[in-house]
Structures are given as structure tokens and as C-alpha cells.
Structure 1
Amino acid sequence: MTDLTAIGRRTLLGGLVAAAAIPARAANGPRHLTLAAIAAPTALDPHFYNSPTNNQALRQIYDTLTVEDVHGQLQPGLATSWRNVSPLVWEFDLRSGVRFHDGTPLVPDDVAFSVARVPQVPNSAGPFLSFINSIERVEATGDTSLRVVTNRPNPFLLRDLGSIFILSRRLHENGATADFNTGRLAVGTGPYRYTGFTLGERLELAGNDAYWGGRPDWDTVSIRYVSNGGARIAGLLAGDFDLVDGIPAQDVARLSAQPNLSVAGLNSAHSAYLFPDTDRDEAPFVTDRAGRPLGRNPLKDVRVRQALSLAIHRAGLVDRLLQGQGQVADQFAPLAAPDRLPGLPPLPTDLARARALLSEAGYPNGFNLTIHGPSGYFNGDAAVLAGIAQGFTRIGVQTTAETLPLSVFFTRATRREFALFLSTYGSTSGVDLLRQIVATRRTEERTGAFNRQHYANPDVDVPLTGALREMDDDRRLALSRQAQQALLNDLGVLPLFYVRYNWAGRRDKVRYEPGNAYGHTNVNYARSAA
């Protein structure tokens, strides 16, 4: 595992990020960039909803204290250095001279305000609570210094703070989510300023010439949200878009061969998985073969989950449906997580064994099942869901695949309306992945923020809780792997593959270089080709 404690104890100079992540504008380069993105943010309130589509839009406008680079390593953001002075106390130095887009200076109290605001934002389907649950208080110790006091040892504090966008108490106190969407409060310290937003359609930005990391490449940026992959590609080829993300898998090779285009790819830290309802005695969208209620939830039986896993041909999903644009999963944690389980064989496909397990579990004739997934969340999501349904049907579980628009899908998933659904989550830490997705939901501890199926397993929770508090690297690694192995044994989630993201741009206009491990599309990684 990455030595977070050691990282926290050494001083990291702020110039590192400025040099590595923020391009300087070419003297005669183009000033306007048009980007077509696959998915739109649901809000511009940076504490409203922790999702990849929201976060990639927010990182254009707002900053965090720390950031992760493309290798998952921590780098300075608004904080230039930090020290873990005792198990419960961290000290941070802020960049001097940083101002919000309206000229308001950044002060240490803004960090305290931002942390305190997170649990106050109403109606979030994916809150940021787990990132601040260990923080007891934040206090200024100088004009550009602050202290974070935790209620328990937290070796992941630096990464947690990399997920909390910093707002201004002076500007944003009492601000509602709607005030950010209208632009009135969409004011950050980031490289680009808000100039316009139409929900589901577009985000307009202007370069922040006073940005602490250096003047951005682009004077203005138009981000259009186009969920249809063919339409994004057609717009790129027609010259309507300078850069597009979410390149359909079948188009990667064709676009890469075109001399006027530049294609970039990233094997990301996003894990694609199926999440079964193992909590309720009766689950929706599960019936017998005649369409009648079963009277019990077959997904609660680990043998049924094993059978479903054995029915998934993961290599086929990646090789055929995704045209090789992904990596087959052998566990939940992605390849970018240094604490993942080592030396595992591929997850097997065995239809005969799957049928036998169903019979052992009391379902010799199978049952009917509808599985759900998002449409336009990642490339090929609908095709993947259909391919999984075909595999289930082959073992006697007659399965229908239903995809839904993002906003509808995640709202319904949060309401627990599905028996089994497809999703992804990105993390460079196996511990964080489990904390967010499968840790038992406990309001007071703010765990399981994305545990939408209310999964609960003490064999996972106990070592996971220990890992989240253990400052010793070796002991933390052992606890992390114990929790991950328990989850894999139980198949509380069914791992599928690790997502690959691709971008294509006009070679004479822009070069895109992924700057983080998550596949977030960030205009600051789009460099002028002039």
C-alpha cells in the first residue's frame, strides 16, 4: 500500500503540481476549446453529489487541499505542505496569495467552513460524508496555516481532503445548491471561471488568468454534454468539437489511424461491478418462471451469487463488447490500488457448475430476473448489461436488461428499487473502495455512502474498521487484504472489469494527456497544440 503516513510527514513543495499539472498557454495558441463530454453533472454545488461526472466538471472551477496524479500519488493543491505531528493532529500550510474568482482571498477558515458545510447539504444521493467523518475540528493557526484535529487516527486523511472542494465562508455561507447552478455562487479558486450552465446541455467557462498554478491554455471553454457516442464522433469529424471523451470502443482503432486526430487512453482506477440485494427477504424484479413472487430473495444465498458470477464471461465482455478497451477483473479493487489482493487467478466462467449451484440452492429451474444499469455512464454500459443478461439466461436465470438515464438510474438505485444493478466506482485504495461501497451503513460513522443495497458483513466490517484507523503500514495492509478477501469470498459485489477511458482531439488544436487515475475529463489536461 502507498505509505500515506510517510507522505504526510514530509514536506511537499507546491511548485510540483504547478509544473506537472497546469500547462502554460502557448504564445500563439488557440484561445477557445469546445469539448463534447459523455455525461453531464447534476449540479455545480461542489458538496452536493460525489460522482465522477460531477467531480470532473467541478475540478475546472474549484480546488482541493491535495490532489492525486495519474499514478494515484498525492501532490500539493491548495496546501503546499503538511505534517502529521501526532496520531490525531495534522498541520497544513496554504498557498499564499490565492484568491477566489471574484478576488476574495483564501484564508484558513475557509477550509473549516468547507468541512463543516459537507453534512449540511440536503438531498444528496452520494454525499461526501465519509471523507470528513474523522475530522473533529479545523482551526486556523496563522494567516496561511491551519490544524486539523481528528477523533481517531486516520492514515487516509490526506486522500480524504483531496475530495473536499474548498469554498469561501464569506461568499458561500448559507448558499443553496440552486445558487451554484445559477452561477451566483459558482465561484472557486480553480483554473476556470463559470460563465454559464444549462443543466444536461452545456457548461461555459473562462480562463482564470490569476490562477495560482499558472495561466490556463484556453481563454474560453464550451463543454457540451452529448450522451450518444456516434454524435460525439460525428461532431469531432465535422469540426464542431475540438475534443471528445467517452470514445466508443469500436471507434478507437479507426480514430487512432486518422492523421488529423490524436487519441489518448487510460486504464483507470474505476471498477465495474454488479451489486446484488443481499439484505431484503424479498427483492424487486425477481419472480419464478411463471412471473409469480418467489416469497424469498435468491440473491441472499451465496450459492446463487456464485452461480451468477460463474455465468459471466468477463473476457468476452472486454474483448468482444468493449473491443479490448478494459481489463478483466480478478477482484473488486482495481490494478491501481497497491493494497489489492496479490496473485489471484482470473474469476472463472463455468456454466455447468453454475447450474449445479442453482440446483443446490433450491432453484433447479432457475427464476426470472431483471437487472438494471445506467445508459451513458461509461462507454459500452448498455451492451455490457445485455451481455451479462445473456450469460445469466444460459444457466436458467431468465434475465432482462434495462438501462436508464443517469439521473433516473441513480435516484432509483438509491431508493433500493433494484435487485441487481451495474455501476462503477473509482479509487486507488482498496480500503476506500470498501468503505464507500460495502461498509455497513452507519449514520453516526458516515460509512457506506454508496452502499445502495445495504450490504452488511462483519467479516468485512471488522478488519476494514481496523484498516481505516491503523497508522502502521504493514498492519494496515494486512487488515485491508483481510477485508477484501472476505468480500470476494462472499461475493457481496460481483467484480466485472476495470474501465478504460479514451479521448480524441483535433491534432492541430489540442493534445490531451490524462492527469489522474480516474479518467476524469479535465480541461487543464487539454494542452494547446499550437
Structure 2
Amino acid sequence: MPHVDPRSARPRHRFGFCAALLAGLALTSTALAQTLTIGLANPVNTVDPHFTNTTANFALSGHVFETLIARDARNRLVPGLAESWVPAGETVWEFRLRPGITWHDGRPFTADDVAFTIARVPHVQGSAGGYSGAVRTITRAEVVDAATIRFHSAQPNPLLPNELSTVQIISRHAGTDANPPDYNSGRAMIGTGPYRFIHYRPGEGAAFQRNDAYWRGAEPWARVNYRFIANDGARTAAVLAGDVDVIEQVPGNDLPRLRRDPRVSIAEISGIRLIYLQADFSRQGGDVPGVTDNNGQRLARNPFLDLRVRRALSIAIDRHALAERIMSGTAVPTGQWLPEGSYSHNPAVGVPAFDPGQARRLLAEAGFPQGFRMMLTTPNDRYPGDATTAQAVAQFWTRIGVRTEVESLPWSSYQTRGRQQEFGFRLGGWGSSTGEASYLLRNVIGTYDRARGWGTPNYGRYSNPALDAMTSRAIATMDDEVRETLLREAVQAAAEDLGMLPLFLLKNAWAVRRGFRYEARADEQTLAASTRPAP
């Protein structure tokens, strides 16, 4: 990462109070009132910024808390609370903080708060790991002075700036001894961000009020209301009725109709969210949950430990049909997890060919000529088309002799049971927010190691030491070109071993009521700061 000169980074334009009010005079009564109401598809389980590593949680708490390094709408690194960062040796990164920033209660933001945050991240009460992977290599946070902090690591870590873009900074004075309930109640919700916390109501929503002293300039919205609306049809109906101003995750089958409706506009962008399938690798015997022979009896062994079975299940799926028909063109079929053109995307890894005949032959070679029975578990309220996609996959697998039923769960139950390795095969999603391949390699298919910060969302407990070694070597390589070559090799190895089965990358779409405009984001976040009164 080269030195970042703050003078070369243009801050995003912000409307002040007066500008927003003048614009609002020509708009709707909602804009006049300076209240923004957003309909979210995914409820969050806490507003503690370090508890759960999901896009929904990160976006919601991101109205109050900020990161040292931010990302723009196209997922590129830009200065945040840090105005610059530069290597200060092979194993040291130095960050210079912006001067004059204060917490919502008026106290100054300093490097000591950053050091406190880094120390807290791996030790959040009740968390299964959260963002611990982002700080895994930091052995010491050295506070040089109030505006300077250095991060020391045991080995070179060229990706530390990317990783720290996922860690929201909290204050020592409000965060000491604070746990998720203290954030949910608002006691510890003291940030530096554009909005102050009003309330969070589990399963219902949250509310924020404008921080008029925000260092980037005051936002146009005096109040932001978030409503959790998990049902696709209900979200569409809410924006058309004017009950909300913006909705996320517009259902693909609603897009043609909404594009023609003068009451709304659509904001779209290609995203970084992969939808994938993952088997259980944690059991050697035949006690895999939901997996039996065709008579309902326990198998002698875990079939998913056989690469031939994994290959059969992969090529039995028509990914193009999933993207075009099931997802109504709102997805891109893939055999990896980064969009084409991204750093460390491997052009040699294509979309797996749909070949049900070869899939049957592979099953027979693996000792399952008559197939077997299995359960595929999916969330039903987390990703666009999640349960519908699982049903389509089940049909593909049933056609090759693997009779598949679908278990569809609310996200909260899915997460809890997933952490306990209760799924024989599952559908999941992952957004590579660091913009490079190692983020998934370390998290989704990296060998589970809580102390190291690897494999937290690897519910299937897939483990490939050779792939881990390739990943470790890549992320310790400071040269960008050499590191990209190494990561591409790891992508190829992952595609060959199938510790997960990539299906497609999502396109992101928001529907916005007339009088508002939304800057579509590749990282899938739905933010009040991305919403403006329409000119």
C-alpha cells in the first residue's frame, strides 16, 4: 500500500443543513421534514460493532461508528478516521489520524481509542469471532502520540489496511467493560459518525438523529428510521405506498415493474456477494445431519469427504439457469468469489460446466451408484432468492440420484445452528469486503482456528492445510504483483478441491421513492449517507 496523501483524496460531497432544506422545498413533505425511512431486508442481532460480521450489522452500526480507512461505493479504499497510512518497516504500519475529530459526547478522538478497539475485537462477550480475523496479525498497537498509531505484527501483512477497513472504532471511555447489551441500550453507542443513536429494537428496527458536528459536514437528514422488512413483497409494497423512502434487495421479479413505475427509481451495481454451498467436513463417519441412504439408514461414511462426490454435486448444478431464471438476471454465475477484473480474480477459473451425466458417473465411482438422501439447509430471509435458490439446487441434485429436501430457516436460527455444525449441507453467502481473494480463503474455507482468527464462518469445518499454507504465504508477501500471482494460485486450488461450491455473484439493487436518489454500493451496504434529496 503506497503512502496516501490526504490532499489527493477528494471527500464525498456533503449537503449541509441549509442546502438540504432548500432542496427539500422543491420536493416531497418527507424531504421537507428531513426524515429518511429505509426498509431493510435483514434484521441485525445487535448494534455492537464487533459482535457479528455481516453486512447488515456493519452498515447499521456504521451510522454511529467509523473505520480508520473507509471504502467508496465501488469498494475502493479511501481515508476515513485516518488521513494517511504507510509501511514503517517490514512488520509495521503507521497510521496518522485526522485532527480535530470528537466523539458524540464532545471528547477528543485519539490513538488511544484505536488501540483500545484493536484489543477489544477478539474478546467480545458471546461473539463467535466477529472481526477477530481482521486484527489477527497485530501483535502490538503502539500509541506514538495522540494522532499517530503503529501496528506491529510478527510477519509482514500488506493487507492490514484492507482488513482494518472492516473494523469500526469505539472509544475507550464509553467502551470499557461494555458488552452487546450496553450497545443495544445505547449506553455505549458513542461514536464519531454522521448520526447519533436514538434506539434499537430487535426484530423491528433502529433510529438515529443527525450529528450536526460531524467532521465531514452535517447530513441532510435530521432523523433516520430503519425498518426491518424481511418479506420481499412487503418491502416493494412499502416503497410504492410511500411508507419508506428506500428499500434494499429489490426482488428480481419486481425489477421490470418497478423500472416502469414513475413513483420510484432503481439504483443498481454489480456486487461482491457470493452465494455458495458448503458441505459438512467435521464428521468422518456416517453421522452427518440429514444424510442417509435411500432407505433412511445411516451411511457408513461421510460422502462429502470424497472429492468425486463434491465434483458430482457441483457439475449437477446449472449455474446459468440459476442466475437467469431463478434470480431473474440479478446474478452472475461463477466458479470463484470475486468479480471479473478484481485484484486476484483468476481468469483461468471459469464457471463449472453443467454435466449431469458425468455427475452420475462420479457418484457411481465414489460408491454411490444409487445416490443417497440429504438435507440442504438455507436461510429464508438473509439473501435475495436464498430459499428459492436452494429449492432449485435440490431439484438438480435429485435428478442425479441425490434426493434432496430443503430446510428453510430464519437467519437467527440459521446462524445459531450453523455455529454448532448442525448442517449436512448448507447455502451461505459471503461478501469479500477487502476486495481481494484472501478474505474468503481465511474465513469461509480456512481451517477453523479461533486464536488465529481463521474460519469463523466456516461452519462445515473444511480444512486443507496445503491451501492454508498458500494463503499464509500470499498474505505475508509485500509485493502486490507477486501476492496476486500467489492468490490466483490459491483460487485455482480452492476451485479444484471444492471446500465450497460457488454458485453466483449477486447484483445489488435499491428502489428509491421519487424525490430521493441513492448511490448504489458494490459492498451491498444500505446507508443514509448514500441517500440524498433528488435535484
Q: CA deviation at 1:23?
A: 4.7
Does residue 264 of structure 2 align to residue 246 of structure 1? no
Give the CA deviation at 1:204: 0.6
- The structural deviation recorded for 1:139 is 2.2
Among 290, 295, 301, the residue aligned to 1:296 = 301
Distance 1:206 1:335 in 2: 39
Q: CA deviation at 1:501?
A: 1.7
Q: Which position in structure 2 is the counterpart of 1:109?
A: 112
Per-residue deviation, 1:14: 8.2
Corresponding residue of 1:280? 283
Per-residue deviation at 1:212?
1.1
Q: Distance in 2 between matches of 1:142 and 1:122?
A: 30
Question: Amino acid of the residue matched to residue 279 of structure 1?
Answer: S
Unpaired runs of 5+ residues, structure 1, are none
Q: Give the drift of 1:445.
A: 2.0
Q: What is the letter of the counterpart of residue 86 of structure 1?
A: G
Work out which of the residue numbers 18, 21, 37 in structure 2 matches 1:27.
Answer: 21
Using the alignment, how far apart are the partners of 1:336 and 1:219 within structure 2? 39
User: What amino acid maps onto 1:484 in structure 2?
Assistant: V
Letter in 1 for 2:56: T
SS at match of 1:479: helix
Match of 2:505 among 498, 501, 504: 498
Residue 422 (structure 1) aligned to one of 418, 427, 430? 427
2: distance between equivalents of 1:126 and 1:336? 31
Q: Which residue of 1 aligns with 2:414?
A: 409
**In 1, are the aligned partners of 2:199 and 2:208 still within 8 Å (CA)?**
yes
Question: Of 428, 438, 441, which residue of structure 2 is paired with 1:431?
Answer: 438
Measure, in 2, the Cα distance between the counterparts of 1:72 and 1:467. Answer: 21
What pairs with 1:157-176 in structure 2 (closer than 5 Å)?
157-176=160-179
Q: Tell me, yes or no, if the aligned pair for 2:73 and 2:519 is still in contact at 8 Å.
A: no
| Correspondences of 1:340-379 after superposition (within 5 Å) | 340-379=345-384
Residue equivalent to 1:119: 122
What residue number does 1:458 align with? 465
SS at match of 1:224: strand
Alignment equivalent of 2:155, drawn from 139, 152, 155 = 152
CA contact (8 A) 2:64 2:197 kept: yes
Is the CA contact (8 Å cut-off) linking 2:349 and 2:495 kept in structure 1? no
Paired residues of 1:242 and 1:505 also in contact (CA < 8 A):
yes
Identity value in percent: 38
**Structure 2 partner of 1:324:** 329
Distance in 2 between the 1:453 and 1:140 partners? 39
Q: TM-score, normalised on structure 2? A: 0.95
Find the aligned partners of 1:44 and 1:256 in 2 and give their Cα distance: 34
Shift of residue 71 of structure 1?
Answer: 2.7
Secondary structure of 2:85's counterpart equals strand
Aligned residue in 1 for 2:477: 470
Q: Is 1:72 aligned to residue 65 of structure 2?
A: no
Counterparts of 1:260 and 1:447 in 2: how far apart (Å)? 46
1:10–1:233 distance in 2 versus 1, CA, 3 Å: closer
- 2:96 maps to which of 69, 93, 98: 93
Task: Using the TM superposition, give the Cα deviation of residue 290 of structure 1 relative to its aligned residue in structure 2, in angstroms.
Answer: 0.6
Deviation at 1:197, TM superposition (A): 1.1
Alpha carbons 1:14, 1:77 under 8 Å: kept: no
Q: Match of 2:126, as an amino acid?
A: N
| In structure 1, distance between residues paired with 2:48 and 2:8 | 26
* Paired residues for 1:10-49 under 5 Å: 10-13=4-7, 16=10, 18-19=11-12, 22-24=14-16, 25-28=19-22, 29=24, 30=31, 31-49=34-52
Q: Aligned partner of 2:447: which letter?
A: T
Residues 175 and 512 (structure 1 numbering): CA distance in 2 closer, same or farther, change over 3 Å? same
8 Å Cα contact 1:332-1:488 kept in structure 2: no
One-letter code of the match for 2:269? L
SS in 2 for 1:40: coil
**C-alpha distance in 1, partners of 2:450/2:35?**
45
Question: Are 1:511 and 2:517 counterparts?
Answer: yes
Supply the distance in 1 between the matched residues of 2:431 and 2:199 (Cα, whole angstroms): 28
CA distance in 2, matches of 1:19, 1:345: 36
Q: Which shows bigger deviation, 436-445 or 372-381?
A: 436-445
Q: Judging changes above 3 Å, is the alpha-carbon distance between structure 1 residues 133 and 126 closer, same or farther for their aligned structure 2 residues?
A: closer
**Does the 8 Å contact 1:13/1:81 carry over to 2?**
no
1:141 aligned counterpart, secondary structure: strand
> Could you give the per-residue CA deviations for residues 210-255 of structure 1, whole angstroms, max 9, x where no partner exists?
1111111100011000100111111111111111111111001110
Name the residue aligned to 1:84: 87
CA contact 1:12–1:75 (8 Å) conserved in 2: no
Equivalent-residue separation in structure 1 for 2:246 and 2:76 (angstroms): 27
In structure 2, stretches of 5+ residues that fail to align are 25-30
Question: Partners in 2 of 1:318 and 1:126 — Cα distance?
Answer: 32
Query: Which residue identity does 1:79 align to in structure 2?
Result: A
The farther-off stretch of 67-76 and 184-193 is: 67-76
**AA paired with 2:297?**
R
Matches within 5 A, 1:331-342: 331-335=336-340, 337-342=342-347
Q: Which residue of 2 aligns with 1:52?
A: 55
| Other structure's SS at 1:504 match | strand
Aligned match for 1:211, one of 199, 207, 214: 214
Q: CA deviation at 1:57?
A: 0.6
The residue type paired with residue 482 of structure 2 is: R
Residue identity in the other structure for 1:513:
E
Secondary structure in 1 matching 2:354: coil
Q: Is the 8 A contact 2:377 2:406 kept in 1?
A: yes
Q: 1:135 to 1:14 in 2, by over 3 A?
A: farther
Report the Cα distance in structure 2 between the residues aligned to 1:456 and 1:386, rounded to whole angstroms: 27
Contact 2:334 2:350 in 1 (8 A): no
1:129 aligns with 2:132: yes
The 10-residue stretch of structure 1 (474-483 or 431-440) with the greater mean CA deviation from structure 2: 474-483
- The Cα of 1:68 is off from its aligned counterpart by 1.8
- State the distance in 1 between where 2:180 and 2:61 align: 13
Q: State the Cα distance separating 1:330 from its structure 2 match.
A: 2.6
The equivalent position to 2:488 in structure 1, one of 476, 481, 484, is 481
Distance 1:468 1:13 in 2: 29
Counterparts in 2 of 1:218-257, with a 5 A limit? 218-257=221-260
Q: Which residue of 1 aligns with 2:28?
A: none
Q: Deviations over 1:469-488 (max 9, x none)?
A: 11012221222112111111
The 1-side partners of 2:150 and 2:460 are apart by: 37
Q: How does 1:175-214 map to 2 (within 5 A)?
A: 175-214=178-217
* Cα pair 1:23 1:524 within 8 Å, conserved: no
How far 1:344 sits from its partner (Å)? Answer: 3.4
Q: Distance in 2 between matches of 1:262 and 1:125?
A: 39
The alignment yields a C-alpha RMSD, in angstroms, of 1.5
Q: Secondary structure at the match of 1:86?
A: coil
For residues 36 and 4 of structure 2, what CA distance do their matches in structure 1 show?
Answer: 38
Counterparts of residues 515-530 of structure 1 (less than 5 Å):
515=521, 517-529=522-534
Distance 2:236 2:371 in 1: 42
